Every structure is written in C-alpha cells, then in structure tokens.
Amino acid sequence: MLVAIVDLKILLMVVDEKQKGDVELRKSTVLFIVLSLVLTNVIPIYAAAADMAYVPPAYELTDIGNHWASESIAALVNLEILSGYPDKTFKTDNQVTRAEYLTSLFKTVCVLDDSIVTEDIPDSMGYFNFYDFRENERREFLQSFSTVEYELPYNDLEGHWSKNYVAWIKNFCDKKVPGLFEKIFPGPSFSPNQPITREEAALVTIAFTAPAVRSRGIKFADIAPDYKLYYEIVSLVDNGIISGFPDGTFRPKDNITRGATAVIMTNVLKEIAYNMDFFANPETYTFTIGSSSDGDYVATFMPEEMYLNPPTELDKIYVAEFKAFELDRQMVQELYSVDIIAELEGFEYGTDEYFKRVAELEEEIMKKYDELKREIPFYEPDRDRFEVLKELEQKDYWNKAGLYFWMFGHDHDKSIEYLEKAEAAYDADKNGRDYLYKIYEEFIYY
C-alpha cells in the first residue's frame, strides 16, 4: 500500500509539462486505483495504517461476535495493539506475517522498556484489570518510539515499516536470552512479509514470560521430547500462553492466525501485568485469591494429565476423593440458591409452605449429588475422607505432599504438623511447581 502511494508521487512528477492538460485526469485515475488498493488490500495487524484508511473500533467489527477469541480481539483492538479492516471485519483466520506478529508483540510488551518508570500502585481491594496495566505509559512510549532509530543485522529490513519494532524485540531477546533471536530467525534475511509459524511465534514470545511454574503434563502427538524446540514450546504451553489443538497436536510448522495472535497477546499482557504488579503486592494477592475462583480451585499436587487419567489403583482412589470434593462444592453452591428458587416459584418468604419447599429442594439437591458421587470409580461414599487419606499414607502412596496438605485441613489437632510435612515432601518435578504456593498460602493464613 505504501509502495502504491510512492509510485503515484513518482508518476505525477514525471508527467511532462506539455501534458498538463491531461494531468488532472491522470491524477484522478491513478488516485482512484490507489484508493481501491487501500480499501481492498490486507491492512496489517499493526495500526500504522490508521492515518491512511479507516480503522474501525471493536464494537463495529462484524465478524468476531461468535469467535472463540472475540473477547481478546475486542480488548486489543480498543487498546490499538491490533487493528481491524476498513470493511469493519477482523478476518480472524487470516495468517500473520513475521513483521506483523513482532509488531503486535512489541505493542503488548513495550511497557518492559527500561525507560518506563511507573508510579502505579496496585489496588489493595483486589480489583485487577490486566488490560489497563500501565496503559498510559504504553501509549506515551509508543508516541515517542517513532523518533528512535535502531540497527539490525538483516539486509531486508532497511526502509521496512516494521524495522524499529523488530529491532526492539531483538534487543530485548538478546538481553534476556542471548542467541535466541538468531536461533528463531537465522541468516542474513528476516523475511518480514513471510507468514510466521506457530513455533517461531512461541519462541520469540517466550523471552517476555516468566518460567512456567509447573508442568501440566501435556504431550503432543507431533512433538517428541527430542524435537529441537520441544522444551521451549512446552514451557510456553505450561505457562498457558499458547495451546495445542483438540486432536492432541501442536502443529509447529503451521502459520499463526490473527485470532490466535489476539489470544497469545492477551495471555502475554496478563503474564506481564501479574508478574510485575499483582504478585509484587502480597495484600492484593492474598485478598484476590481468597475471594476468587482461582483461590477456590482444587490443588491436587499432581500433573493435570495424571489427574485426568490416573495410572495406578492408588492414584484412582486419591483422584476419586478430589472428584467427590468438587461435587461437594457444586452441591453447596446449589444449596445457597434454594431460597431464591422457592421465591421464584411463588412461595412467600417466611411461610410454612416456603420452608417446606426449601427443605424439599435441599433434599433433591443432596440426593442428586449423592448419586453422582456414587458413580465415581473407586470412590467409597460411606468412608470418611480423612480415613482414606490416612490409608493411602500407610500404603506409601507417592503423592505425600498432596496427602499431607489435605490431611492438614481434616485433623485440627495436628494441622501445622501436616502442613510442614507437605512442604518437606513437596517435589516440583512430581507435584507440579504451582502448588507450592498453596502450602505457603496456608502457612500465612495459619
């Protein structure tokens, strides 16, 4: 598109003075062609073309409503990290070039630049909107960024619109993981207009994330442990930044789509915001995890794949208790709503009929969940959970950290002793790295 405009200027300049009478016609004709190209060509995922063509706000985009990445797309378009097309579409399945991906990544992570100093204070009441993280600083930095000139070793980026964005990403990668950028994009040429692959996108993104806190135990049918980029890809998957496909593949050589790019940028933005701000404030952190679904999740102290497919009989007994526990929590949530249901059915609060209906609803709910729990393989509904955990301990079940952590909540006489045992038995390679914070969290509360 930029080339077309430059060509127009050249064309108009070389028109012979003698042909001035035809110039206006030729100007109009060529301008019409150029505008047609502007309106029909692909607008890059970056927002640099905003002054040459209409860039619609998120609420005007007509093709993202039912897309799985719609929330991420809308948020990032509003932040001007991504852009839609003049025809008010986003084209979620279109491929993204190397230049476009690195530009989007730059606009997402530029708050990490050493020149940015923030006085933001995390909200102590626990509200944390990562989309707003350092938003003012990011916009100010982007406004002044165009005045900086960067150098690159590639011979095909001089004069390219993405040069500075690519250079900034490379400079950051070189500081964080020396040699990483050349590993991803080797050779004298960067090929900015070449569609970026999923593995290239994963590798360049990993420099802007913290190490994964746990192994999720996810394996891909098309990536073996001896694959040259296996650990980098799996680390980003473990971090929740990128994911595989429903058929169990990762498809490293496939190209990234605009929709997938939006989700990746959202996850990176969240990662940066939480690591730089949220987790740096213990008051905010403890308040939020204590009042959110994240704080309520069941800490199994085992890889996710093992939890979904327990390999041994003892694993199945252990997992059965957690599945029953999850159903207990769902039951409690439903029990909280019975009074509302009774009133919606027309029973007046406080009357005998009202209380009778509430009791009936409670009995129906408890019966339903009792039947669901009895369907869980290896679950023994008539046994106390603490007894089952103790028996697993006596049978030398491997997951001691999980056993002691949950025994801590059942034996109030020796609670701190069990918590100390859980910490001592914790093995990051076997238990997963992210569960250790649950133990420390309980220490703090204790």
Pick 295 or 221 by higher pLDDT: 221
Residues 390-410 have pLDDT tens digits of: 999 999 999 999 999 888 877
**Confidence grade of residue 264 (pLDDT, cut at 50, 70, 90):** very high
* pLDDT band at residue 338 under the 50/70/90 scheme: confident
Residues contacting residue 162 through CB under 8 Å, at least 6 positions apart:
46, 99, 100, 102, 103, 192
- Of the chain, the percentage scoring pLDDT greater than 70 comes to 76
Lowest-pLDDT range of 2-16, 83-97, 158-172: 2-16
State yes or no: pLDDT of 373 exceeds 90. Answer: yes
pLDDT of residue 297: 54
CA angle 331, 337, 340 (to 5 degrees): 160
The number of helix segments (H) and strand segments (E) in the chain equals 21, 0
The pLDDT, as a whole number, for residue 215 is: 66
Q: Residue 433: how many CA atoms within 13 Å on its side-chain side?
A: 9
In tens, the pLDDT along 77-114 reads 988 899 888 888 999 999 999 999 999 999 999 888 88
Q: List, for residues 245-262, the tens digit of each pLDDT value.
A: 888 899 999 999 999 999
CA 101 to CA 109: how far, in whole Å? 12
3-state secondary structure of 437: helix
Cβ atoms of 282 and 288 closer than 8 Å: no
- How does pLDDT run across 432-442, given as a tens digit for each residue? 666 776 777 77
Helix (H) or strand (E) holding 146: none
Most confident of the ranges 2-6, 174-178, 198-202: 198-202
| Terminal-to-terminal C-alpha distance of the chain | 63
Q: Best-predicted range by mean pLDDT among 7-16, 97-106, 337-346, 409-418? A: 97-106
- Give the pLDDT score at 361: 92
Q: Determine the pLDDT at residue 101.
A: 96
Tell me what pLDDT residue 118 has: 61
Please compute the mean of the pLDDT values over residues 308-317 and round it to a whole number: 93
